[in-house]
Amino acid sequence: MAEASAVPPQVVAVAAHPAHAFSKPPKSEIHLLAGLGVEGDAHCGVTVKHRSRVAQDPTQPNLRQVHLIHAELFDELAAQGFRVAPGVMGENVTTRGIDLLGLPRGARLTFGDGAVVEITGLRNPCQQLNDYQAGLTRAVLDRDADGNLVRKAGIMGVVIAGGIIRAGDAIAVTLPEGPHVRLERV
């Protein structure tokens, strides 16, 4: 599951945008609304807001209320020559010191003053990454030892308890009771 890190799990940056845009501008804080998502963000709501999913069935539950990416991915991408920063890839919360991709479905992250996000699955990288920088989609995809596709572009979650999240906030991880279910794309 989540690997131990020399850095305690913390929030590096937060971002939100009211329009459906690739990147989200950094904010000093974001307000999570229970059952809805990030206040003022285009993906806030009970039902799905991602445009391709709305086209399929607008009544689907919104399992993508909050998008989180680990800052360690930015370090990896920078080493490959990509220019990325918090909010650029559309995430609401950038973290450091936590293996987001290794968390099981149903894990809960508690931030700062008590906001809680329950993890629902993986973000599926899309063509917009390549539109931003050529080759970025491929750079956030990998293969594990068994040849299975590994999506590294972050994870998605739903808001269980509302609250404010700011850069520097500590993150506490609560794992669900076993058996743990690996994250799949949502």
pLDDT tens-digit map of 15-42 = 999 999 989 999 999 999 999 999 999 9
Asked if residue 48 is part of any domain, the answer here is yes
What pLDDT sits at residue 5? 60
Asked if residue 33 is part of any domain, the answer here is yes
Q: What residue type is 143 in one-letter code?
A: R
Asked if residue 183 is part of any domain, the answer here is no
* CATH number of the CATH domain containing 40: 2.40.33.20
The confidence band for 2, taking pLDDT boundaries of 50, 70 and 90, is very low
Strands 93-96 and 26-27: unpaired
Asked if residue 181 is part of any domain, the answer here is no
Asked if residue 110 is part of any domain, the answer here is yes
Q: What is the number of structural domains in the chain?
A: 1
Q: Which of 29, 9, 7 shows the shortest CA–CA distance to 100?
A: 9
Q: What is the rounded average pLDDT for all residues in the chain? A: 94
What pLDDT sits at residue 53? 82
The confidence band for 178, taking pLDDT boundaries of 50, 70 and 90, is confident
What pLDDT sits at residue 1? 46
Asked if residue 86 is part of any domain, the answer here is yes
Task: Give the Å distances, CA to CA, from 180 to 1, 22, 102, 146, 171.
Answer: 9, 32, 11, 20, 20
Element (H, E) at 143: strand 141-143
Asked if residue 66 is part of any domain, the answer here is yes
Domain that holds residue 115: 10-174
Average pLDDT over residues 154-169: 98
Asked if residue 46 is part of any domain, the answer here is yes
Q: Which of 140, 139, 155 shows the shortest CA–CA distance to 101?
A: 155
The residues that bridge with 141 in the sheet, in sequence order, are: 151
Tell me how far apart the alpha carbons of residues 68 and 109 are, in angstroms, rounded to a whole number.
11
Burial pattern 156-177, b for ≥16 Cβ within 10 A else e, equals bbbbebbbbbebebebebeeee
What is the Rg, in whole angstroms, of the alpha carbon atoms belonging to the chain?
15
Span 33-76, pLDDT tens digits: 999 999 999 999 999 998 788 888 989 999 999 999 999 999 99
Examine the pLDDT at 3 and tell me if it is beyond 70. Answer: no
Tell me how far apart the alpha carbons of residues 137 and 85 are, in angstroms, rounded to a whole number.
16
SS (H, E, C) 5-21: CCCCCEEEEEECCCCCC
What pTM did the predictor assign?
0.94
Strands 26-27 and 10-15: antiparallel
What pLDDT sits at residue 6? 77
Number of H helices and E strands in the chain, helices first, is 4, 13
Per-residue tokens: 91: 């995430």
